[in-house]
């Protein structure tokens, strides 16, 4: 805990009420930025995340390193909080400005933002589904009526078959409606096949259009980030009173631009010594700070 949060009231932490920052961002990203490249999807989801935090729709909490207590932020502090997302967000998201501890999101706020509301129209359609199913026809055959015999007509003439009916030996006489039902079923199947083919072609055309727009956005973003002369300037040095992680992140970015060959295969104490010497002769930090600074440099 740093000096800025020493006088802040800390509350008991219950993990059932909170969601870790990175999984919470992943849920929002799957809803807001599911399409396009990773860079565009991350930027779109990060902008939505910050907007929800600033407008009190999503509450952030800073949990102590021992996971026993947490603190909240007032409106003025909340406006300064922004999320930093690496290209692969699953590696770990962070919040700026830096605070010692772990970041969590209130679970109830996250559920409200990611839940899909049911509109009255959809609810009414769901209720009408059983009513649209036609009742099943009874399997039993109604008894045949006894033939009427007109006066002066032979009794055996009443048993003659009527035109348009089928006569089965030993069974009742029924109308022949099977051919009409078969024709109607064939027409319905053909119409369904045409509609399905049209929807498939429309979906493919929309997918190609979205892919082309995403590629154009990537090109525009690259033009803004990459200088026209092709020479990347070294990053600005952080102030002297900045946190050690900021200095380590600057040293990693500086070495990657000016002399990337020095970082090849380095780890542990050798990487720690190179980073500390790059920052300055009077600078020193432990290996854990070096790893955290390297992770921060990857997310910038």
pLDDT in tens, 250-264: 998 888 888 777 788
Place of tokens 């045409």: 194
Question: Average pLDDT in the 144-161 region?
Answer: 52
Report the pLDDT value the prediction gives residue 158, as an integer from 0 to 100: 46
Question: Whole-angstrom Cα distance, residue 22 to residue 25?
Answer: 5
Mean pLDDT along residues 114-132? 59
Position 137 pLDDT exceeds 80: no
Q: Which single residue is written with the structure tokens 């029924």?
A: 174
> pTM of whole model > 0.75?
no
In the predicted structure, residue 173 carries a pLDDT above the cut 80? no
Mean pLDDT of all residues in 106-113: 91
Residue 189 is predicted with a pLDDT of 66
| Rounded average pLDDT over 59-85 | 92
- Residue 126 binned pLDDT confidence (cut-offs 50, 70, 90): low
Indicate whether 296 pLDDT > 80.
yes
Instruction: Please state the rounded mean pLDDT for residues 95-103.
Output: 92
Mean pLDDT of 57-67: 92
**148 band by pLDDT with thresholds 50, 70 and 90:** low
The more confidently predicted of residues 102 and 298 is 102
Residue 107 pLDDT greater than 60, yes or no: yes
Cβ contacts of 248 within 8 Å, gap of 6 or more: 275, 279, 285, 289, 290, 292, 293, 294, 296, 297
Confidence at residue 198, expressed as pLDDT on a 0 to 100 scale = 83
* Per-residue pLDDT band at 157 (split at 50, 70, 90): very low
Residue 141 has pLDDT above 70, yes or no: no
Q: Tell me: pLDDT of 265 over 50.
A: yes
83: pLDDT confidence band, cut at 50, 70 and 90? very high
**Rounded (to 5) percent helix, strand, coil in the chain:** 55, 10, 40
Which pLDDT belongs to residue 64?
92
Please indicate whether residue 42 or residue 229 has the higher confidence score (pLDDT). 42
CA distance 179 to 173: 17
Bigger pLDDT: 38 or 223?
Answer: 38
CB-CB contact of 165 with 173 (8 Å): yes
Looking at the chain, the number of H-run helices and the number of E-run strands are 9, 9
CA 240 to chain centre: 40
Rounded Cα distance between 24 and 93, Å, is 10
Which percentage of the chain shows pLDDT scores above 70?
67
Cis peptide before 96 (omega within 30 of 0): no
Q: What is the mean pLDDT of residues 87-100?
A: 91
Q: Most confidently modeled of 164-178, 218-232, 279-293? A: 279-293
Q: What is the pLDDT of residue 240?
A: 82
């Amino acid at each position: 805990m740093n000096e800025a949060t020493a006088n802040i009231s800390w509350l008991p932490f219950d993990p059932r009420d909170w969601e870790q920052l990175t999984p919470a961002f992943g849920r929002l990203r799957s809803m807001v930025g599911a399409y396009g490249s990773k860079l565009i999807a991350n930027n779109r989801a990060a902008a939505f995340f910050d907007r929800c935090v600033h407008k009190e729709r999503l509450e952030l909490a800073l949990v102590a390193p021992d996971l026993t207590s947490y603190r909240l932020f007032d409106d003025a502090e909340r406006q300064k909080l922004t999320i930093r997302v690496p290209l692969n967000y699953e590696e770990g998201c962070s919040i700026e400005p830096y605070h010692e501890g772990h970041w969590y999101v209130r679970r109830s706020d996250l559920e409200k933002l990611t839940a899909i509301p049911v509109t009255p129209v959809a609810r009414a359609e769901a209720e009408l589904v059983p009513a649209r199913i036609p009742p099943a026809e009874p399997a039993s055959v109604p008894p045949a009526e006894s033939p009427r015999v007109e006066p002066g007509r032979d009794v055996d003439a009443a048993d003659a078959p009527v035109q348009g009916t089928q006569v089965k030996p030993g069974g009742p006489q029924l109308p022949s409606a099977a051919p009409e039902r078969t024709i109607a079923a064939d027409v319905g199947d053909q119409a369904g096949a045409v509609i399905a083919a049209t929807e498939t072609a429309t979906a493919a055309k929309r997918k190609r259009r979205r892919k082309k727009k995403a590629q154009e956005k990537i090109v525009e973003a690259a033009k803004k980030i990459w200088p026209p002369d092709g020479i990347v300037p070294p990053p600005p040095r952080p102030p002297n009173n900045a946190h050690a992680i900021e200095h380590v992140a600057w040293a990693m970015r500086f070495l990657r631009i000016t002399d990337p060959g020095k970082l090849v295969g380095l780890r542990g104490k050798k990487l720690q010594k190179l980073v500390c010497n790059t920052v300055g002769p009077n600078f020193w930090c432990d290996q854990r700070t070096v790893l955290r600074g390297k992770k921060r440099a990857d997310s910038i």
